[in-house]
Amino acid sequence: GSAANTITCTSIFGMPSGYIGKIGNDELGKLFKSSMKQYGVKTTMFVGSKSSGRCMVFITGPNAERTFASYLGAALEMVPEELKPEYFEGYDYFHIEGYLVQNQDLISKAVQMAKDAGCIISLDMASYNVVESNSALLHNLVDKYVDIVFANESESRAFTKCEDIVTGLREIAKMCKIAIVKVGKDGSWVKSGDEEHYIPAWPAKPIDGTGAGDTYAAGFLYAHSLGLPLKLCGEIGSIIAARVVEVVGTKIDVPRWRAAKKEIRELIEKSNG
């Protein structure tokens, strides 16, 4: 799902990355686990009684906007008792997707374990439907545990009840250290404390918007792990998002990865003067 796309990209960036989840005892689950390992991700994968999760993607319009119909399957069978403190040891970040709030006991234990392990906790809100249905729980999580929040404009509106993008950004930023609101082809906004920036979308020829937010998060977290300035973190996220919308699906091909890494190096060098 969303978090898997993000973690795959952080691994390609060279960040040691791990993934905790539950799959079905089926070919799709085996393929998912194999794919994660192929990209260098350390997997802690439990097997449930239901089939592996999946989704249908509907792509429309010249900007390749997409809508999901999701089936979480075995992922919803994961229980808090399956989590162990050692799963969080050695990692600096713990990234979760909003769909996990549908398993309240699991997400509550996970964020507490991550906080106890000293992890920076980042949350991708994932879906405005999820935000609307679990508003109280999400507000509690962000207020008490989450350091970095990623949301798109519809998720921000559902979370803050603010129609204006920047007003919504500022409301989220009151509850956490860093807030990011993505607005597709119109770029993104990032805020931390008194620092606030608009990040234009990186040039791209979009054919499929699937995974854009997930890869943006990966680029942002990678840059943040290097201690780069807030604006630069957003720009690096924008570069990776621009590359993934040029392909069908969520896997960026090797030439585009090379081009993206070159653009990122040049951006960092320019920032360093």
Flag whether 28 is in a domain: no
Is residue 96 in a domain? yes
Q: What pLDDT is attached to residue 66?
A: 63
Phi-psi region of 118 (alpha: psi -120 to 50; beta: other; left: phi over 0): left
Q: Is residue 161 part of a domain?
A: yes
Residues 6+ apart with CB under 8 A from 98: 2, 123, 124, 125, 126, 127, 130, 131, 134, 138, 155
- Domains: count for the chain: 1
* Residue 168 resides in a domain: yes
Structure tokens of 26? 């089926």
**100 assigned to some structural domain:** yes
Which residue range(s) make up the domain with 153?
55-271
> 166 lies in a domain?
yes
List all residues 6 or more positions away from 153 whose beta carbon is below 8 Å from its beta carbon: 165, 168, 181, 182, 183, 184
In this prediction, what percent of the chain has a pLDDT beyond 90?
72
Token code pair at residue 2 = 């969303």
Whether 190 is covered by a domain: the verdict is: yes
Domain CATH code at residue 163: 3.40.1190.20
- In whole angstroms, give the CA distance from residue 111 to residue 13: 24
Residues 130 and 158: beta-carbon distance below 8 Å: no
Q: Indicate whether 242 belongs to any domain.
A: yes
Q: Are 216 and 188 in contact (CB under 8 A)?
A: yes
Q: What is the pLDDT of residues 130-183, one digit of tens each?
A: 899 999 999 999 999 999 999 999 999 999 999 999 999 999 999 999 999 999
